[in-house]
Amino acid sequence: MSNEVRVRYAPSPTGNLHIGNARTALFNYLYAKNAGGKMVIRIEDTDEKRNVKGGEESQLNYLKWLGVEWEESPNKGGEYGPYRQMERLDIYQKYVDELLERGLAYKCYMTAEELEAEREAQIARGEAPKYSGAHSNLSQEEIEQFEAEGREPSIRIRVPEDHTYTFNDIVRDDITFESSDFGDWVIVKKNGTPTYNFAVAIDDHLMNITHVLRGEEHISNTPKQMMVYEAFGWEPPKFGHMTLILNENRKKLSKRDEHILQFIEQYKNLGYLPEALFNFITLLGWSPVGEEEIFTQEKLVEIFDAERLSTSPAVFDPAKLKWMNNQYIKAADFDRVVELTLPHLIEAGRLPKDMSEEDKKWAHELISLYQEQLSYGAEIVELTELFFKQEIEYDEDAMSVLEGEQVPEVLETFKKNLQELEDFTPDNIKKQIKAVQKETGHKGKKLFMPIRVATTGQSHGPELPNAIHLLGVETVTVRLDDVLSKLQN
């Protein structure tokens, strides 16, 4: 086996890139880069019924968007290709033929109905269901009879008797299986395509894969793959099985969890930053030394240590992801924040597609008010709603502010001062608020809160003079008149 670390991410093109697969890819990427090794992407497409058009493209595009780079893949090539399993069928056949010749595999002609009947009988007897080996030693006459009936055979590998399989897992230390737990299993289906565990073992060996990091659901696959390695006298790679990702209710994260977005594409479309998602996903089942949680990709490559992969399930916390993305947005270049948010304002019909320079300037000023509090790009639509409403409905908190006895005086004075302004700028608006304080004697919350609630409809929000400036003098005047009218009735 190569001294160079070589890992692989090997998705099936059955759908878009989701959180679990992305984590597998990220951990393999970090492991390889930390060790100065290489990452291979191999497409495991032998289950053609489940393959989805565009599935491979989605996997690769969104991995690249996240910041994952690889050295070998179907679109990059490499010396160990092809990198799609359906393009490697002739390679697998060579090894199938060898196992058949050596008597380590055999053809099984049992039908699906016969296999199911065998399984049901075993369950009825209280036995763990597994293939009985009924066709493991067919005579030539029996083979000819089955073929005369038109039966298509599958090919099964002979599982050694009384054999113990132990591997030292990177995450879980020693894991042991007994060969008696397995019946002879299918390595080639009746349609001629190899099964997952057979093809994977062949590919990992021929591609010089040294380390396999994957989800814990693959633990039970490992002894089967070890059987293939053993049959050919090969050294298996080092395996590491990552724990489950749980939702907030500590249930296994499922594509049916509607309150948690599952796919990387969804986060991109909502205006999450790829480096934030990279950071967040890396911490799902891996922890660095210390309390720090915000890391650049380069830093994660530098500090990644597989020994710190968790043995406990990771909990996907959407609130923490929002917090983390907010940290990245706050630190981002403003032009990038505009790129994240402006399309959402346009899509919501808040802004026209073809904006004048004046419109663009206004939109940029609006977005800048919310950069500090944005959790993701699409949130800008909800946050800026007050700037696009014709009428405001005041909630209980707002009404309690407006019921103060000083409110009419404060608002009347503020309205008068605004009307006298020649240049409606944030600085001048701020000066007029201070002037209201001097004229009325009201200050602090008794001054600012009525003005904020009357003009924006909110008791909390962005810098008040900036918000009033963007609303415009006409809108602000209408809102002040409306509130004063309601207070007089």
| Residue 233, amino acid | G
Average pLDDT, integer, range 42-49: 90
Residue 336 has pLDDT above 90, yes or no: yes
Range name among 60-69, 222-231, 452-461 with the lowest pLDDT average: 452-461
H-assigned helices in 424-472: 426-440, 445-456, 464-471
Average pLDDT, the chain: 94
Q: pLDDT class for 21, splitting at 50, 70, 90?
A: very high
Range name among 45-54, 271-280, 283-292, 431-440 with the lowest pLDDT average: 45-54
pLDDT value of position 290: 92
- What is d(CA 414, CA 435) in angstroms, rounded to the nearest whole number? 8
Catalytic residue among 64, 255, 320, 443: 255
Residue 1 has pLDDT above 70, yes or no: no
Residue with tokens 């008068």: 416
Model confidence pLDDT, tens digit, residues 358-376: 999 999 999 999 999 999 9
- Report which of 84, 61, 83, 72 is spatially closest to residue 32, judged by C-alpha positions: 72
pLDDT value of position 235: 97
- What is d(CA 308, CA 298) in angstroms, rounded to the nearest whole number? 18
Number of H helices, E strands in the chain: 20, 11
Residue 215 has pLDDT above 70, yes or no: yes
Residue 206 has pLDDT above 80, yes or no: yes
pLDDT value of position 459: 87
Average pLDDT, integer, range 220-247: 96
The distance from CA 51 to its chain's CA centroid, rounded to whole angstroms, is 20
Residue 191: how many CB atoms within 10 A of its CB?
9
pLDDT value of position 52: 85
- What is d(CA 37, CA 452) in angstroms, rounded to the nearest whole number? 57
The distance from CA 119 to its chain's CA centroid, rounded to whole angstroms, is 38
Model confidence pLDDT, tens digit, residues 237-285: 999 999 999 988 888 877 666 677 889 999 999 999 999 999 999 999 9
- What is d(CA 176, CA 120) in angstroms, rounded to the nearest whole number? 28
Model confidence pLDDT, tens digit, residues 285-332: 999 999 999 999 999 999 999 999 999 999 999 999 999 999 999 999
Range name among 8-12, 47-51, 135-139, 211-215 with the lowest pLDDT average: 47-51
Average pLDDT, integer, range 12-41: 95
Share of the chain above pLDDT 90, in %: 87
Burial of 100 (0-12, 13-18, 19+ CB in 10 A): middle
Choose between 383 and 54: higher pLDDT.
383
- What is d(CA 460, CA 462) in angstroms, rounded to the nearest whole number? 7
Residue with tokens 């050596």: 102
Model confidence pLDDT, tens digit, residues 68-100: 999 999 999 999 999 999 999 999 999 999 999
CA-CA distances (angstroms) from residue 282 to 18, 205, 292, 310, 322?
14, 27, 13, 11, 15
pLDDT value of position 288: 95
CB 240 within 8 A of CB 216: no
Average pLDDT, integer, range 172-200: 96
Q: What is the DSSP string of 259-287?
A: TS--BHHHHHHHT--HHHHHHHHHTSSB-
pLDDT value of position 51: 85
CB 191 within 8 A of CB 160: no
Residue 125 has pLDDT above 90, yes or no: yes
What is the SS3 assignment for 173? strand
DSSP E strands in 226-362: the ranges are 238-242, 245-246, 314-315
Average pLDDT, integer, range 117-143: 95
- What is d(CA 221, CA 338) in angstroms, rounded to the nearest whole number? 47
pLDDT value of position 397: 87
At 480, list the tokens. 């002040």
Q: What is the DSSP string of 70-126?
A: -SBBTTTB-TT---BGGG-HHHHHHHHHHHHHTTSEEEE---HHHHHHHHHHHHHTT
- What is d(CA 47, CA 43) in angstroms, rounded to the nearest whole number? 11
Annotation marks residue 255 as catalytic: yes
pLDDT value of position 69: 96
Share of the chain above pLDDT 70, in %: 99
Q: Which distant-in-sequence residues (6+ apart) come within 8 Å of 255 by Cβ?
A: 18, 262
